[in-house]
Amino acid sequence: MKKQKQKTKYIFVVGGVMSGVGKGITSSSIGKILQMAGYRVSAVKIDPYINVDAGTLNPIEHGETFVLEDGHETDQDMGNYERFLNQSLTRESYITTGSIYQKVIQDERALRYDGKTVSVVPHIPLAVIKQIQKAAKKQDAEIMVVEIGGTVGEYENILFLEAARMMKRKQPDDVLFVLVSYLPIPKNLGEMKTKPTQQAIRTLQESGVFPDIIVARGEKPLDIPRKEKIAQASLLNREDIISAPDISSIYDIPEYFIQEKLDQRILHKLHIRKKRNREAQEEAKKWETFTRSTKKLRDKAHIAIVGKYFSSGDFALTDAYVSVIEALKYAGFTNKAKVILHWFNSRDFETGKQKVNELKKYDGILVPGGFGNTGINGKDMAIRYAREHAIPFLGLCLGMQRAAIEFAKNVCGIENAESDERKIRGSAPIITTMEEQKKLIKEKKLGGSMRLGAYRARLSKGSLARKVYKQDEISERHRHRYELNPEYVPLLKKHGMRVSGWSVEGKLPEIIELDRKLHPFFIATQFHPELQARPLSPHPLFVAFIGESMKRRKNLQKKKEK
């Protein structure tokens, strides 16, 4: 008799008490430990806002926009999933309230509801379920981790909880709820408090959802009496309450969860067993080798990042640059170096709050992507400093565009060199609007309409780019509306800045670099290499950048010793 195909299992991860306690990392780590148990795992992120995708969100407020291979603009958690699961996700895996309503309304307009009254319940939850199942099918997943954004008790995510509840009713053995909660230790008390978690459990129960496992985040591990209290409140066994204290590296969390037997609890509750197949063993081994490499760092590399998306009230956040940070870390591990990041707000160079020659202390300078007018001159100042002082430089997207402009201005003598994005009248358009973008901008069709996702590029013979990639053709993810104007390419080249990578049809400049006679390592990309950097496959550009930065550091040390 033919064996019946096992139904896909679904693990819904919801958050209690407050946001920002690491629900995304918890979900990714759960995915990882189940991969290590031999299962094909994939993930879905649900964000409860109305925006159809994450492309229109302000990075200061919402952090980085993570672009998938297929060009979908999503939340930074999708980056965590891709990095932990070592897998490229697709647009089906990212859901927002806006995207679901848009789909339901489109279907209604197309008469797909056959004259029925289309209601919030059940039609919205049903559309959510359909989308989750579609994602599972597309990824051929045996287990799907579905993270519901926001915190329980919020009005916004109630329909997603309803979808989860409806799934549980249909497939009680295949659906699991994990509540990620937080246990504060108020300074004046010095004691870990369980009450907010108890309340979160109750709030979740009010929406008809009963947690199967509770991950108790906190500064410290959870002790037995407190586990007992939470178990009491949730009607769970003590072993279903998982202690999840702060740990210095997020990549150690899967192993920590395994020690806490979280994998066993999940598998048990889903009525499945750990597979002892070769894939499982290989997966576990690769991850172990990686986590070990994070602990054997003999050297250091001090990298200055000159960004512009930091402030949120009185707090400086680096959320807008998560993928860049991770990509640098992996490159450090490969080079056996701890990468120490130093953040500069480019505006501070403009106002004089920070002197640009502060940058001389660093081993490498990175200028990441961005939009709009603020802090642009400060970015140019930093790029010029890197160029003139032979400091290893990596420019990403906007960082590449500004590198071309700075060079055109200060080396090629085009005083009015600028980008069309800034709309400065009478400027020389070194960076110009891409042809296919002109109409879109005019008609204000701005959401989801940039040049997005993976495109191939060809690398020029003898270039630094080709040497670094060790390949002549690459595929990288993009997110931009503007491009380096090909008309200026010959002039830049004459002065020592070449285009070392072109889009395969030969039209769009993709990578620029300085002649090695002018600079040891100055390279910048129109695409976002950081989006494809993974723990198990660090990105060659970042690896080379950190390698060069360490060389500079050693040379400087040698000079000092003399």
Active site residues: 397, 528, 530
| Stretch of 76-84, 152-160, 394-402, 422-430 lying at the interface with ligand GLN (CB under 6 A) | 394-402
C-alpha 206/C-alpha 217 separation (Å) is 22
332 binds ligand GLN (CB under 6 A): no
Rounded (10°) angle between helices 76-85 and 23-36: 20
55 binding ligand GLN? (CB under 6 A): no
371 is a site residue for ligand GLN (CB under 6 A): yes
Stretch that binds ligand GLN, among 124-132, 135-143, 396-404, 441-449 (CB under 6 A): 396-404
Q: Using DSSP bridges, classify how beta strands 315-316 and 522-525 pair: parallel, antiparallel or unpaired.
A: unpaired
Whether the CB-CB separation of 385 and 404 falls below 8 Å is answered with no
369 touches ligand GLN by CB under 6 A: yes
397 near ligand GLN (CB under 6 A): yes
At closest approach, how far in Å is the CB of 533 from ligand GLN? 16
Binding of residue 481 to ligand GLN (CB under 6 A):
yes
Nearer to ligand GLN, 262 or 396 (CB): 396
Site for ligand GLN contains 477 (CB under 6 A): no
Segment near ligand GLN (CB under 6 A); pick from 29-37, 125-133, 296-304, 395-403: 395-403
Residue number, nearest CB to ligand GLN? 369
d(CA 379, CA 376): 5
CB of 399 to ligand GLN, least distance (A): 7
H or E stretch including 524? strand 522-525
Which range in 147-155, 214-222, 241-249, 474-482 contacts ligand GLN by CB under 6 A?
474-482
Q: How far apart are the first and last CA of the chain?
A: 79
Q: Is 479 in the site for ligand GLN (CB under 6 A)?
A: yes
Complex with ligand GLN: residue 139 or 401, whichever CB lies closer: 401
CB of 70 vs ligand GLN, minimal distance in Å: 17
**Whole-number minimum distance, CB 430 to ligand GLN, in Å?**
12
Q: Is the Cβ of residue 66 or residue 177 nearer to ligand GLN in the bound state? A: 66
Tell me if 417 sits within 8 A of 427, measured CB to CB.
yes
Q: Does 370 bind ligand GLN (CB under 6 A)?
A: yes
Q: Which residues of 297-327 are buried (b: 16+ CB within 10 A; e: fewer)?
A: eeeebbbbbbbbbbeeeeeeebbbbbbbbbb
Q: Does 72 bind ligand GLN (CB under 6 A)?
A: no
Task: Tell me which stretch binds ligand GLN (CB under 6 A): 34-42, 280-288, 337-345, 473-481.
Answer: 473-481
**327 binds ligand GLN, rule: CB under 6 A:** no
Which of residues 213 and 376 has its CB atom nearest to ligand GLN in the complex?
376
DSSP-derived secondary structure for 96-113: EHHHHHHHHHHHHHTTTT
β-bridge mates for residue 338, sequence order = 300
Taking a C-beta distance cutoff of 8 angstroms, is the pair 210, 177 a contact?
yes
Q: Please list, in sequence order, all residues whose beta carbon lies within 8 angstroms of the beta carbon of residue 77, skipping any fewer than 6 positions away.
A: 24, 27, 28, 45, 66, 147
User: How many chain residues bind ligand GLN (CB under 6 A)?
Assistant: 11
Which string of x and - marks every residue 419-438 that binds ligand GLN (by CB under 6 A)? --x-----------------
CA angle 398, 404, 407 (to 5 degrees): 135
CB 525, CB 476: distance < 8 Å = yes
Query: What's the rounded Cα separation, in Å, for the pair 507 and 523?
Result: 19
Contact 365, 301 (CB under 8 A): no
Residue pair 178/204 in contact (Cβ under 8 Å)? The answer is no
Q: Which of 95, 201, 382, 398 binds ligand GLN (CB under 6 A)?
A: 398
Residues that bind ligand GLN (CB under 6 A): 369-371, 397-398, 401, 421, 479-482
